[in-house]
Amino acid sequence: MQYDSPSNVLGQPLVPCSFEPLTGFFRDGCCKTNEQDLGSHLVCAIVTNDFLQFSLKRGNDLITPRPEYQFPGLIAGDQWCLCLNRWIEALEANCAPLIKLESTHAKALEKVSLEVLEQYAAVAEI
C-alpha cells in the first residue's frame, strides 16, 4: 500500500525528486515509501563523486547501469532517492550529498532532525 498524500520534511506536499534519471522506490520520480520499501528511499539527494565512491565501497554500486532493475547508473549531479540509512552513514563519514528538502519524505525526520537536514539543503533554483 502506498501512502496517499505524502509530505516532505517541511510539512508540505512531497515534490518530485527526479524524472531523469527516473528515481524512487516506485520509479515514479518521488521519494514515496510504503511497508515494502525496506531500504526507506526517503532522501532526495544530489549525488557527488565522493558519495558515489563511498556507496560503492559500502557495497552499493550506484554507478553501474542495471537495466533489469530500471537503474541507469548515476553520475555526479544526478538527483536520486537515497536510502535514509545510507545518507546517515555518508553524513557520519563527512561525504553526505546535498538534498532537496521539498522532495525528501517526512519519514526521514524519524531518524534525522530538520536542523541537520537543513544544513545539507541544496539552494532551490529560481
Closest to 21 in 3D by CA, of 69, 97, 74 = 74
Q: Can you tell me the mean pLDDT for 13-36? A: 94
| Residue 80, SS3 per DSSP | strand
pLDDT of 3 strictly over 60: no
Q: Is 12 exposed, middle or buried (0-12, 13-18, 19+ CB in 10 A)?
A: exposed
List, in order of start, the domains of the chain with CATH numbers: 1-126 (3.30.56.110)
Confidence of residue 2 (pLDDT cuts 50, 70, 90): very low
**pLDDT of res. 1:** 35
pLDDT of 125 strictly over 80: no
Hey, what's the cell of 98? 546535498
Instruction: List pLDDT tens digits, range 41-57.
Output: 999 999 999 999 999 99
| Residue 41, SS3 per DSSP | strand
**pLDDT of res. 4:** 59
| Residue 108, SS3 per DSSP | helix
